[in-house]
Amino acid sequence: MQEFGTTIFAEMSALAVRTGAINLGQGFPDTDGPAEVIEAAVEALRTGQNQYPPGPGIAALRQAIARHQRHWYGLDYDPDSEVMVTAGATEAITAAILALCEPGDEVLCLEPYYDSYAACIALAQAVRKPVLLHAPTEPGGRFTFDPAQLRAAITPKTKVLLLNSPHNPTGFVATREELAAIAQICVDHDLVAITDEVYEHLVFTDAAAYKNDPAVESVRSGHIPLATFPGMRERTIQISSVGKTFSFTGWKVGWVCARPELVSAVTKVKQFMTYVNAAPLQPAVAVALNLDASYYPDFAAGMQSRRDLLRTGLADAGLTVLRTEGTYFVTCDVSSLGVTDGLEFCRAMPERCGVVAIPSQVFYDHQDEARHLVRFAFCKRPEVLTEAAKRLAKLK
Ligand code: PMP
Ligand code: GLN
């Protein structure tokens, strides 16, 4: 692990605390999720649900996860053999990689990628094979990838394709056509897909995923799991967590859905990482997943209006704002401000304008692709975003 330093999130959040800057770096909301979910956790703490829960997670939570997958995606998972609770999506991804990869095996993913991927691939002594998600060259353009490049990166050692859509840090959301191409690659090359779907309920209504897709419009969620494509249900490990969808990022309760053989492989690793997790939070997460279905589009609409508020502030400050189709994040091209290194720029931002952001280059192996890109989080109260916009104007 010697090549790994402190995560950028720890560095930038500490910088925000030290300087009193507004933290638009690390992606966490500044308000809590639904009160009844908190009450359920308090109730569980008070009623003695404080000892080790069952290894795969409590039954009520596994049933709620299975119900959620059926309701939104028409995917049927047996809560007893095909669903497992983890310590956030992070543990689920790590345990899945460790379970599937022998030393030297290759993991295909899009670049940029969430920071923990490189670390857990390294822990497995596997090799990451990033394929570029190309940044748009015009404002308003989408990030895109070339399926032929994905296919060309496959070797006999490639075991796993690790997909994150909606995508952190770019805000890219894969369309049905893009997902179909990825699914075909997995089937043709007998890959297992690990899908990081933590932003599944944060796809915005102007995302390309919605266009001409009645199936998407009918459920009012633009996210389409890779597991819904032909041949993928049996070869996908679907991963998500409570953090982003319900604004409880500090709870670190996540889950895995897959066929029984894959779940038991992941369980083998997970049992020696954390054994079990957060007993009193599990019934509360079940309450969250059982909330009325109207919770989800309302939540996404609220976040979409925050996105637009921040976009306006960033554009007024002279930054070139790229398109955000989902997630918590807006990416900006800061070369219009004469910036040549996003990391230096982000380290200096608190002093220059009292705002913290994340340099996108840290999510790349090929950092030169992104020295001009900076990621801003908009999962904050509107008044905080308005104040941030006022401060960002000092950059001009
Ligand atoms: N994947 C992505 C893409 C993320 O942005 C995050 C941050 N929440 C995670 C995984 C980790 O999720 P969790 O906090 O549930 O471990
Ligand atoms: N997922 C969050 C982000 O991308 C941060 C999680 C973390 O701090 N590791 O900002």
pLDDT tens per residue across span 168-179: 999 999 999 999
d(CA 5, CA 117): 14
Question: Residue 215 pLDDT > 90, yes or no?
Answer: no
Nearest partner of 15 among 339, 357, 313, judged by Cα: 357
Does the model's pTM come out above 0.90? yes
Give the distance (Å) from ligand 1 centre to CA of residue 164: 10
CB count within 10 Å of CB 228 equals: 18
Candidate of 9, 168, 256, 328 to mutate for ligand 1, largest count of ligand atoms within 8 Å of Cβ? 168
pLDDT at 140: 77
264 — phi, psi (to 5°)?
-70, -30
Q: Six-digit token pair at 126?
A: 């596997």
Q: Which tens digits make up the pLDDT trace of 77-135?
A: 999 999 999 999 999 999 999 999 999 999 999 999 999 999 999 999 999 999 999 99
ipTM of the modeled complex = 0.98
d(CA 170, CA 161): 19
Amino acid (1-letter code) at residue 103: P
Averaged pLDDT for residues 205-218: 84
Question: Residue 244 pLDDT > 90, yes or no?
Answer: yes
Q: Six-digit token pair at 286?
A: 């079940």
CATH number corresponding to 49-288: 3.40.640.10
List beta partners, residue 332.
321, 374
CATH 3.40.640.10 residue ranges in the chain? 49-288
Beta-carbon-side half-sphere exposure of residue 148 (alpha carbons within 13 Å) = 0
End-to-end CA distance of the chain: 40
Q: Ligand 2 atom closest to Cα of 198?
A: 1
CATH 3.90.1150.10 residue ranges in the chain? 8-30+295-395
pLDDT at 213: 82
Which are the contacts of 240, defined by CB distance < 8 A and separation ≥ 6?
89, 196, 197, 198, 200, 254, 255
Q: Which tens digits make up the pLDDT trace of 39-83?
A: 999 999 999 999 999 999 999 999 999 999 999 999 999 999 999
Fold of 8-30+295-395: Aspartate Aminotransferase, domain 1 (3.90.1150)
| Strand-by-strand arrangement of the 106-111 sheet | 83-86, 254-257, 236-241, 192-196, 158-164, 106-111, 127-132
Candidate of 7, 65, 109, 114 to mutate for ligand 1, largest count of ligand atoms within 8 Å of Cβ? 114
Averaged pLDDT for residues 262-279: 97
Q: Which tens digits make up the pLDDT trace of 322-371?
A: 999 999 999 999 998 999 999 999 999 999 999 999 999 999 999 999 99
Q: Which tens digits make up the pLDDT trace of 216-227?
A: 877 778 999 999
Ligand 1: residue whose CA is nearest its atom 5 = 168
Candidate of 11, 23, 26 to mutate for ligand 2, largest count of ligand atoms within 8 Å of Cβ? 26
- Chain-centroid distance of CA 76 in Å reads 23
Q: Is the Cβ atom of 9 under 6 angstroms away from ligand 2? A: yes
List beta partners, residue 238.
195, 257
Pairing of strands 254-257, 83-86: antiparallel
pLDDT at 387: 97
